[in-house]
Each structure stands twice: as C-alpha cells, then as structure tokens.
Copies of this chain bind each other. A is one copy, B any other.
Amino acid sequence: MAGALIDLHPDRLFPAEPTQRAIARRLYGCVSDLPILSPHGHTDPAWFSRNEPFADPASLLVVPDHYLFRMLYSRGVNLDELGVPRSDGTRPDVAMRDVWRTFARHYYLFRGTPSFLWLEATFRTVFGLHERLGEANADEYYDCIAEQLATDAFRPRALLDRFGIELIATTEAATDALEYHRALQGTPWADRVITTFRPDDVVDPDRADFRRKVEQLGELTGEDCGRWDGYLAGLRQRRALFKSLGATATDHGHITARTADLDRAACERLLQRCLAGSASTEEREQFRAQMLTEMAAMSLDDGLVMQIHPGAWRNHNPSLFAQYGRDKGADIPTPTGFVEQLKPLLDRFGNETRLTVILFTLDETAYSRELAPLAGHYPALLLGPPWWFHDSPEGMLRYRERITETAGFYNTAGFNDDTRAFLSIPARHDVARRVDAAFLARLVADHRLAEDDAQEIAQDLAYGLAKRAYRLGNHGS
C-alpha cells in the first residue's frame, strides 16, 4: 500500500447517498472555516509558553500518544521498542527513528480507527505528505516531518494560528506551579491559552501521594488543610488563582459518578481518616463523592463550569503500571450509573440555573437511558461530547442518535477534543464537524428538520454551544 498517493477526499465522512451528501456538504460549508474552540484538553502549556520547536516526529506523534502505542502493544510490540519512558525516569535505548519505523510497519493496524483519520489528516494537511505510510517510506516520512518541525512555522504558537485555534485550555493539577500560564500573563496569548482546575491530586485518597499533595495544598495557600474548613478554603484559593489565569472550568476524573451530601462532622472525620491512611475503600469512595458535591457548591459561587469524567478503571494492568506508570493505554471503561450516583449532588444543586455541570461517560448505555433524560430535565446539567474511546465517527453518531431525541441539541456542550495530541486538533474538530453535518443531513433528507434550522444547529455544535457552555464570552475573538 505504501507508495500509493492517498489524498483526503473532500466528502470524507459524508453519507454516500447523493441527496444526503449534497446537504452534508452545504452544512459542512457553513462550519468548516469557523475558529476552533478547544475548551478541554491535555496539551502541555510549556509548548505555548516557551514556544520552542518540537523535537522529532516520533517523540511528538508516537511516544506520548497512548491511543497509538496501546494498539501496537496489543499486537505484541513491547513499549521499549516504542520509546515509552519507564516510571523510574529511564528511557529505553532506542533511536527515535527506529520507533518511527516500528510505528510505520504497524500502521495498518489502525485502519478503521479514528486514529487513522486523525493521522491521515495530519500527514496530508499539516506536513504535505501524500503517500500512505508504511515500512517502505518510513524514513522518508521521518525526514520530511523532522525538517518541517525545525522551522519557525511549526513552533507551537505559529501552529495555534495556522490551525485557527481561538482558544485552548490545558488541564493542571490543583497543586501545579502554573509557571507556564503565569508566564503567559500580560502577553496576547493569555486569553488564548488558559488553564483548567483539576483537583484529583488532592481529592482522591487512593493516590499514593494524596497526603503529600494535601500538605502541599496547605503550603501553597497558607490554610490548615489538615482540617475540613482549611482544606476547603485551600481549594477555594486555588480555584481563584486558576480563575485569575483564565480558567473557566474545573475537571474531575473519578472512577464512578458517585456523589454525597454529608454533614460537616462526617466530612471532617472522612478527611482525617483519608489523611491518616486509615480510611476503608468505602470511606475513600465516600470522600471523593462528597468532594464532587463540594466542588459543585464552589462552582455555584465562583462560576467555574464543572466537568465530571467518570467511569475509567485506571491502570488495569498492574505489571505494566509498575514498569511504565500512568496513561499507558491500560485504562478500561466500566459500567457507570448516573441516576442514583448523582442524586445527592442533584438534590442540592440540580435546579440551579446558574450552575453548569457537564457530564461525560465511557458507558454508552447511559446515553439514552440516563444522561439524556437527566439533562433533559435538570437545569444545571449539560452533556459533554462523546469521550475517549467513543470520540470516533461511529461513536459520535451513536451519541447524536441516542441523545438528541430526548435532550435535543441545546442540552449538549459542543465539541471539545480532550486531547494531548496537539497536531491532531484540527483533524479532530474537522471529524466532529463532518459527522455532525452527516447526522443533520440525514434529518434534513428525512424531512425531520428544515435545512436552515440545520445550518443554525451546525454552527452551534461547531462553535456556539462550546462558547456558551464553557462561558468563554470574555475570551478569544
């Protein structure tokens, strides 16, 4: 296959049937040039702050992308061959060019996956490479990409401009030094590169460094974080700091969606036991559950939009975790029950029109059964876009098909790419815009929706909804 010219087709991801394809083209035409809002993601703020050139093709595109190396791992390639660093800080003795060759040799594994779509678009439109990648042209690809990465046009800020990214949010832990976002203050980039408050490090007692992180929270804020009131005050201080650096949102990655609404004494007791390391599994879960409700309370006060990302069993593979640490493709979704688990939070705050809680799921069965009915009722709730494993053309279609009929379009939060793969951001938004155009085209072709209504919706899905949901009114253009 390698060697053949494979160009991106202008109609890719549109339905083949001509009536629908023509409608999809027109709808996509209304949104293809809209600026990109990336209000939730995991890029490295150092890139935008320092604006240094990226190192090389493999360490930019392969080594940090667990979507890619987990697929090769599943077919027998070990992580050392892929240059993945070990958790003790050592790096395998492998040349980045060899990592790239191994990746190219296994590129066929991605056929039919969204990674394939994102990579193809990146190779073609970002680097101008028009042959299908394979073993034969691996070096040619490597050299061509490496050469371009060394130029000023491929520095991070230049790419932000080229990609049409109006705003990008990174995600930092509650105790993060935030040095890169601080450095951006006073520059024209401060409004375009913002942070997000992610307090998992100080609210998840299952983490090995939980106690140390809470102590650090105390040091950073001058609050007595060993006690419940001080701990909450410390969190409030950090939220205010994040907000001053542009944050409009928080993010919460919990294993379940469980929430709680305990009295003050119970909270104090739970915090003490968690800090002392004597809390039971159930108590640690209760603590996280209570903290989601506390975060909602703080959001009602400070206006930060709350994002809940539940349901990933992190680090399912213990021997891999021991060697390589977190985020190595061994996070597996689990069934997630929202109706019972969110009730304590919703009982307190579900009817608040000033609060925005954006729900994500890795359990698609919840779309039509739980999430759309919840979001179609509670004023405080919006639904985030299809997440992680489901951020794919089929996954996006399933989302629209199962959400829309109960929750409509206006209880959803717009697209966010949620990625650490910076170069794929335009491709990811493009896929989402194309799939939404395809979905809307079907409704128009079936005479369920007028085409002018569909145009308005397409623009909202591509831009307007995210701007409103994430309260980006004061940001960007």
**In the assembly, what is the distance between CA of A453 and CA of B6, in Å?**
11
Chain B residues near A132: list those with CB within 8 A. 450
Counting every copy of the chain, the complex holds 3
From B109, B343, B443, A112 is in contact (CB under 8 Å) with B443
A119 CB, min distance to chain B CBs, angstroms:
12
A348: nearest chain-B partner, CB-CB: B319
Does A318 belong to the interface (CB within 8 Å)? yes
Known: A351-B320, A369-B364. A377 touches B73 (CB 8 A): yes
A364: nearest chain-B partner, CB-CB: B368
Cβ–Cβ contact B448 & A13, under 8 A: yes
Cβ–Cβ contact B339 & A337, under 8 A: no
Cβ–Cβ contact A457 & B377, under 8 A: no
Does A234 belong to the interface (CB within 8 Å)? no
Known: A74-B407, A317-B378. A16 touches B446 (CB 8 A): yes
A320: nearest chain-B partner, CB-CB: B351
Chain B residues near A453: list those with CB within 8 A. 1, 108, 111
Known: A4-B450, A112-B405. A373 touches B389 (CB 8 A): yes
Cβ–Cβ contact A406 & B368, under 8 A: no
Cβ–Cβ contact A114 & B405, under 8 A: yes
From B76, B111, B330, B447, A13 is in contact (CB under 8 Å) with B447
Chain B residues near A13: list those with CB within 8 A. 446-448
**In the assembly, what is the distance between CA of A230 and CA of B346, in Å?**
43
Chain B residues near A392: list those with CB within 8 A. 405-406
Cβ–Cβ contact B376 & A12, under 8 A: no
A204 CB, min distance to chain B CBs, angstroms:
19
A382: nearest chain-B partner, CB-CB: B74
Chain B residues near A377: list those with CB within 8 A. 70, 73-74, 316-317, 329-330, 332
| Contact digits for A422-443, partner B, Cβ 8 Å, 1 yes 0 no | 0000000000000000000011
A8: nearest chain-B partner, CB-CB: B447
**In the assembly, what is the distance between CA of A363 and CA of B331, in Å?**
21
Q: Which A388-411 residues sit within 8 Å CB-CB of chain B? A: 389-390, 392-395, 401-402, 404-411
A270 CB, min distance to chain B CBs, angstroms:
24
Chain B residues near A375: list those with CB within 8 A. 74
Cβ–Cβ contact B406 & A389, under 8 A: yes
**In the assembly, what is the distance between CA of A116 and CA of B454, in Å?**
14
From B4, B74, B318, B365, A452 is in contact (CB under 8 Å) with B4
Extra A-B contacts (7), CB below 8 Å, given A111-B408, A335-B369? A70-B377, A73-B377, A73-B379, A113-B404, A116-B448, A332-B339, A334-B369
- Give A residues with C-beta under 8 Å from B: 1, 4, 6, 8-9, 11-17, 19-20, 70-71, 73-76, 108-114, 116-117, 132, 313, 316-320, 329-335, 337, 339-340, 343, 346-347, 350-351, 353, 362-365, 368-370, 372-379, 381, 389-390, 392-395, 401-402, 404-411, 442-443, 445-450, 452-453, 456-457
